[in-house]
Structure 1
Amino acid sequence: MDSANELLRQTFGLQQFRPGQEAVITTLLQGRSALAIFPTGGGKSLCYQLPALMFDGLTLVVSPLIALMKDQVDSLNALGVPAARLDSSRTLEEVQTIYQSMEQGDLKLLYVAPERLANERFLTRLAGQKISLMAVDEAHCVSEWGHNFRPDYLKLARLADSLNVGRVLALTATATPKVAEQICTNFGIAPQDHIQTGFYRPNLQIGVTPCSANQRRERLLELISSRPAEPSIIYVTLQKTAHSVANFLNEQGYSARPYHAGLKDEERSATQDAFMSGATPIVVATIAFGMGIDKSDIRAIYHYNLPKSLENYMQEIGRAGRDGGDSRCQLLACRDDLTVLENFTYGDTPDPEALAGLVHWLCDQPEHFDLSGYELSQQFDVRPLVLNTLLTYLELEGILAATAPFYTEYKIGFTRPESEVLASFDPARAEFLQRLFATGKAGRVWLTIKPSEAAELLGEKQSRIINALNYLEQQDMVELKVAGLRQGYRLVRVPADMDGLIDHMARLFREREERDIDRLHGVCDWAQTQGCLQQPLMAYFGETLQQPCGRCSGCLGQSHELPPRQSSPVDPEIVRAVNNEQHQALAQPRQLARFLCGITSPKASRARLGKHPHFGALAETPFTRVLEACERLDG
């Protein structure tokens, strides 16, 4: 640790480690994998950034957050640390430069999104690298019991093995004991190498303000006016709410801007920059904002709507007071929010017909087959995340095995004359490349080759063709553009009891639905706590706070009794009117119910039904009641 302490001071400009950091770094330096559960702003990133400089090889950082990747890479580069990021915003030239640095051994840290690890061309490059450490940020995504399960994360453990990764560091700010146990099991982390610093942060004063939907704006205004002009984030559920609340605050004389995934990239960047600089002190945002934002002086977090879970709540309030200064976190608790949040959860459960059709289609394939996630989502009207989850479930059941993703089309741009490229190889290889180029369709700039067609014409394996094209790119002889991503699969076994498998898959989705609904109601149950709010919050994450915090709204004697839930009734005339229009995309009861509750689906989006006057007409009505009304039409 002497070298680590020297790096801490000289490279990172810090005098001492924060709690937990030294234990994690020591574990990694001793060659073991670790799980670090630190609160938001607790210094997780240093736990891999510092040892990355001590390892002989590359540190691969897997993160779903582009904003975090950008901030961290910029900060590391400013410190003279060779780090880079690969994400959708990178130009072709930037990607090539990064690959060159990686292959020359000049790069110490490479940040990637988990989806990039399904890219065969990227994995081919990684296979030739010595990867000393894989850091997995937001590691709770690996757990089906977590609040933000992502199928791509389940494959990371196997990938670490196939790439011969030296050690893994899993990092998260929000893991219950059950989730932590699953993370450790997946990555082979020993119990003693699970390092947790504690969730309790005494500088955060948390509070619950019970209110009805029509009282909420005034309550928010009262809270903001008591401590104006301080950096604040107001979290909302819907994009339209972000705009309406920001407009309301601007009308009241405050400077506020909306932020959500539906805005153009330039608008989101401008809002983020204005918030970071202090030009705009208040951002009204969906959960898309704040993840990975390194601003230490956020003084207030307001939840205008209920968060989806206590894990989300903990993560979001964790963005306040990272500088240790006093900060407050206020939840405007309204039971009416449950309706919209529940509707989104129910809307993600696939139709029984779609689920059965998908499973039959997959089990009807030959031993080796491939698919386009986009095409399959459209065909069976399931969201891409639902499709990916089903495919992962079938992999875990031993029905399918993912082989490799590949592209159906390669566009080739020669960076030097074709004759010069061919002259660089021995006669046999040059003759193969000449025949390969001849299979392509020449355009003004790009030569388009379809590997499957070329393989058939040449009598060669498709893998040889793809490897050849990737090699030419690595040697800077050509530029490649790819299209038509398809995922390869192997059908391991066809189940003897197909109906039993479909029922099992349906049960898994129902159980996931029930867990998400339970989490929602868990937020309301916690918000109604009489007495200290911090003690039950810490207990949820497996910790014990011996004494009441003395600072929360409960400790200060405020009542947390929430008003009864209000919801709009089903309007049968609207249900019948839309049903009578006989849209193909709304033929099934659940499809119609999703549409009426304002939940998009692939087929409805393709039919442009999002602009229909009745889209979302029953968004304030519980999904289960809308679904019952739609099913009665069927009956």
Structure 2
Amino acid sequence: MKTSESLDGARSVLRDRFGLSDFKPGQQKVIESLLAGRSAAAVFPTGGGKSLCYQLPSQLFPDTTVVVSPLIALMKDQCDALQARGISAARLDSSLSQEEWRQTMEGIRSGQTKILYVAPERFFNERFRATLETLKISLFAIDEAHCISQWGHNFRPDYLKLAELTKEMEIPLVLALTATATPEVLSDIQNAFEIKDVDAVRTPFYRPNLQLRSNVLPSEQHYPVLLERIRGRERGPTLVYVTVQKAAEEIAEKLSQDGLNATAYHAGMDTADRTRIQQQFLESDDGIVVATIAFGMGIDKANIRYVYHYNPSKSLEAYAQEIGRAGRDGSDSICEMLLVPEDRIVLENFTYGDIPTAGAVRMLFERIAGQSESFFISHYKLSAETDVRMLVLRTLLTYLELDGYLKGTSPRYDSYEFRPKVTSKSILAHFEGEKREFITGILASSVKRKTWFGLPLAVTARRLKTDRARIVKAVDFMAERGWMEVRVSDLVHGYSKLKPIEDPEALADRYYERLQQREESEIGRLGQVLDLATAQVCQARTLSEHFGETLEEDCGRCSACLGEGPLALPVSQAQGIGSSASDAIARIVDEHPDLLSDPRAQARFLCGLSSPKFVSKRLTRDPHYGVCNHVPFARVLEALRQ
């Protein structure tokens, strides 16, 4: 099919299926690349119409479009919106029942459903991989693609592995989508997915209807000024972003007590409550949601008039994404940061809390070096044993893969169970010959418990002289047909060693330096947000330049342009750790010398920064845990080292 003919078809789908008369900027160019058989990247600002770039081609391609999306709520919203247009879309996530899973796969295999949303971590699940390998895929669309860059603001190891996966599975087309890629991050995305410059489409970042404001306040004026802003301006849908869940609840309660229609929203709430609050906000003309960053991904509400950052974002990328939810209807919207000096301490301490001690990293590398040439290991157990947070642990293992020490193999579940819904005789009636013998062998190997049957895969594979992959496919086939319900547990990840780790301590120290570099980078990102907020120059110009766009003139509407700045964020006058904290650390070190012999671990305890072993040993319940959360981590660490 010629590109011109493909584009004619795309315009028909745009009009008939999506009810739109024309493409938004950049959409046509991305769709043209895909229809011409070339992978593409789309860097559009929040609200710029990224989703249409895969949704529309999915209706023209012969096979399935798989969409990688990081949030269940986002997947559900997208599916619901497509269903409302008469376009069948489905999602596979942990919230689905066995029957919902079965119906989803039935729709995909029949061709009735062309779009399948999946979370990135599912691609490293042996059950899902076995299912995926039976599907024909036309397009692999990756949302939040900036997560692939290990020097980006939101690196996720699973995303980096997706690039290798697309090559292994011989995916014909890839579409990488993001709202927040700097030029350097876009280059990383292009290199990972082999996307040519001509097919990397970036649309203008600057939106003149967004008025960027900022204010630096003493802490006692923090809430009163927020209340004054909301009351003093014309009512309209409003988002108030905070850093922690507790703050979301406290600020929403205060606003409600002051007569405003405010609701808290955060990831710690029940799914049903989050769905209800989100729907209420979508339907409201003046609702206020006080939220952590868990709120807003994929929210299609055009008339959000105000976005207040009660606490600052941790990076300019996150800030751009959050303010991008305002004013999608093109009307004026105000995006204002209300800063207090304590904000820097809280956010910097969060960043420092991610990095484990050097000893913990050495222990991790010694465990890996001591494994056999091919091995399976539980990330959860490894995290608990070494006291390295899960995200950092997975990042370090990914570094080992990138540097050629390890190669990740398909993860697997050590525990498989099934509950029959029909008799064995009914199941076997669907098979004959060798296949019937094979299924008979699987059923005969199961061990009866109360209502579930345990299936020892390793034993069954040896008995039937086959590999576990064939058994897993057979079990999932029977589950898809509704003959049994299957549940799995005890996920372990597989690796094979490509070269030996001859000096694990030296390698661990080198990688620890990389973690410290990331830590410094994250602190620098926060500094960029605070620099923007203190309004030395046009804030819209500063933000645009960060994303590779140069404005011809100042915006004329931000705090700097209006003469409300420059502002100054005072340096915290917080004192040292004090004798009470010093005495507490001495006591805790005596009780737990294995956990708190390192000054960094001690500083994390005093600043209230958790770790896997702090939780397992219940140190987070100690009355002195977090007594220095108002003191900069670096200052606490320095005092302890002295």
Q: CA deviation at 1:189?
A: 0.5
Residues 1:215 and 2:221 are matched in the alignment:
yes
Bigger mean CA deviation after superposition, 123-132 or 170-179? 123-132
Give the number of equivalent residue pairs. Answer: 632
Distance of 1:474 and 1:250 partners within structure 2: 48
**Alignment partner, residue 38 of structure 2:** 32
Q: C-alpha displacement at 1:256, in angstroms?
A: 1.0
1:364–1:217 Cα change, 3 Å: same
How many Å separate the matches in 1 of 2:420 and 2:637?
56
Question: What residue is the counterpart of 1:145 in the other structure?
Answer: 151
Query: Using the alignment, how far apart are the partners of 2:351 and 2:403 within structure 1?
Result: 24
Displacement of 1:75 in angstroms is: 1.0
2:131 aligned with 1:131? no
Quote the residue 1:593 is aligned against.
Answer: 603
Choose from 315, 334, 340 the match for 2:321.
Answer: 315
Distance 1:222 1:321 in 2: 21
- Secondary structure at the counterpart of residue 141 of structure 2: strand
Match of 1:57 among 40, 47, 63: 63
* TM-fit CA distance, 1:173: 0.7
Which letter maps to 2:495? Y
In structure 2, relative to structure 1, the CA distance for the partners of 1:598 and 1:548 (3 Å cut) is same
Matched residue SS, 2:34: helix
- Say whether 1:487 aligns with 2:477: no
- List per-residue Cα deviations over 1:56-87 (Å, max 9, x = no partner): 10001101022221111001111111110112
In 1, distance between residues paired with 2:220 and 2:636?
24
Equivalent of 2:128 in 110, 116, 122? 122
8 A contact 1:208–1:560 mirrored in 2 = no
Post-superposition offset of 1:498: 3.3
Q: For 1:346 and 1:457, how far apart are their aligned partners in 2? A: 51
- How much does 1:586 deviate? 4.3
Q: Does 1:374 align with 2:386?
A: no
Query: Per-residue displacement from partner, 1:222-279 (whole Å, max 9, x unpaired)?
Result: 2212215311111111222112221222222212111112222233223222212218
Mapped to 2, the partners of 1:422 and 1:267 lie a distance apart of: 44
The answer on 1:111 being equivalent to 2:113 is no
* Aligned residue number for residue 416 of structure 1: 422
Please say which of residues 289-298 and 603-612 is displaced more in the overlay: 603-612
Unaligned residue ranges in structure 2 (runs of 5+): 1-6
Check conservation: 1:408, 1:484, Cα contact below 8 A: yes
Cα distance, 1:150 vs structure 2: 0.4
Q: Is the contact made by 2:606 and 2:627 (CA closer than 8 Å) also made in structure 1?
A: yes
Query: CA–CA distance in 1 between the matches of 2:365 and 2:132?
Result: 33
Please tell me the residue identity of whatever aligns with 2:54: Y
Shift of 1:417: 1.1
Map of 1:623 onto structure 2: 633
Residues 610-619 or 13-22, more deviating: 610-619
2:79 matches 1:76? no
If the length of structure 2 is used for normalisation, what is the TM-score?
0.95
Query: Is the aligned partner of 1:612 residue 2:612?
Result: no
- State the distance in 2 between where 1:376 and 1:447 align: 29
Asked if structure 1 preserves the Cα contact closer than 8 Å seen for 2:90 and 2:116, the reply is yes
The equivalent position to 1:188 in structure 2, one of 194, 214, 223, is 194
Which 10-residue stretch deviates more, 222-231 or 468-477? 468-477
Change (3 A) 1:531 1:517: closer
Of the candidates 516, 537, 548, which is equivalent to residue 542 of structure 1? 548
1:102 alignment partner in structure 2: 108
| Secondary structure in 1 matching 2:260 | coil
Give the aligned partner of residue 302 of structure 2: 296
Amino acid at match of 2:629: A
CA gap of 1:56–1:611, structure 2 versus 1, over 3 A, is: same
Q: What's the counterpart of residue 26 of structure 2?
A: 20
What is the alpha-carbon distance in structure 2 between the residues aligned to residue 116 and residue 511 of structure 1? 30
148-157 or 267-276, larger mean C-alpha shift = 267-276
**Partner residue, 2:579:** 572
What corresponds to 2:93 in structure 1?
87
8 Å contact from structure 1 (residues 65, 292) kept in 2: no
Q: Deviations over 1:481-538 (max 9, x none)?
A: 1111111110111134434322221121111111101111111222223342111111
Which residue does the alignment assign to 2:290? 284
Give the Å deviation of 1:474: 4.0
Deviations 1:81-125 (A, max 9, x none): 111011222122111110111122222100111011111111111
Distance 2:364 2:499 in 1: 16
SS at match of 1:536: helix
The residue aligned with 1:342 is 348
Matched to 1:466, the amino acid is V
Q: Which residue of 1 aligns with 2:270?
A: 264
* TM-aligned CA deviation for residue 629 of structure 1: 3.8
Contact 1:131 1:163 in 2 (8 A): no
SS at match of 1:155: helix
Deviation at 1:567, TM superposition (A): 4.8
Q: Give the SS at the match of 1:59.
A: strand
The separation in 2 between residues aligned to 1:537 and 1:342, in whole angstroms, is 21
Q: Name which of structure 1's ranges 210-219 and 94-103 shifts more when overlaid on structure 2.
A: 210-219
Tell me, in whole angstroms, the C-alpha distance in 2 between the residues paired with 1:13 and 1:462.
Answer: 48
Distance apart, 1:429 and its partner CA: 4.3
Describe the shift of the 1:371–1:266 C-alpha distance in structure 2 as closer, same or farther (beyond 3 A). same
Q: Which amino acid in the other structure matches residue 167 of structure 1? A: L
Contact 2:58 2:115 in 1 (8 A): yes
Q: 1:126 to 1:462 in 2, by over 3 A?
A: closer
> Quick check: 2:76–2:91 contact (8 Å CA) kept in 1?
yes
Match of 1:360 among 357, 366, 389: 366
Q: Distance in 2 between matches of 1:586 and 1:295?
A: 48
- What is the one-letter code of the residue matched to 2:612? P
Contact 1:567 1:621 in 2 (8 A): no
| Contact residue 336 and residue 567 of structure 1 kept, 8 A | no
Aligned counterpart in structure 2 of residue 329 of structure 1, from 326, 331, 335: 335
Partners in 1 of 2:115 and 2:402 — Cα distance?
31
Question: Of residues 433, 455, 462 in structure 1, which corresponds to 2:468?
Answer: 462
Counterpart contact for 1:440–1:450, Cα < 8 Å: yes
More moved, 249-258 vs 272-281 = 272-281
**What one-letter code is carried by the residue in structure 1 that aligns with 2:238?**
S
Q: 1:216 to 1:283 in 2, by over 3 A?
A: same
- Tell me which residue corresponds to 1:521: 527
Query: In structure 2, what residue type is equivalent to 1:267?
Result: D
Give the distance between the partners of 1:459 and 1:589, measured in 2 at CA: 54
Cα distance in 2 for partners of 1:243, 1:420 equals 54
Give the Cα separation in 1 of the matches to 2:286 and 2:294. 18
1:436 aligns with 2:442: yes
1:242 pairs with 2:248: yes
Identity over the aligned pairs, expressed in percent? 47
Query: Retained in 1: the 8 A contact 2:214–2:535?
Result: no
- 8 Å Cα contact 1:586/1:604 also seen in 2: no
Q: Distance in 2 between matches of 1:141 and 1:563?
A: 30
Alpha-carbon distance in structure 2 between the residues aligned to 1:35 and 1:147: 18
Q: Would the aligned equivalents of 2:534 and 2:569 in 1 still touch at CA under 8 Å?
A: no
Higher mean displacement: 500-509 or 621-630 = 621-630
SS of residue in 1 equivalent to 2:184 = helix
Q: In structure 2, the residue corresponding to 1:401 is in which secondary structure? A: strand
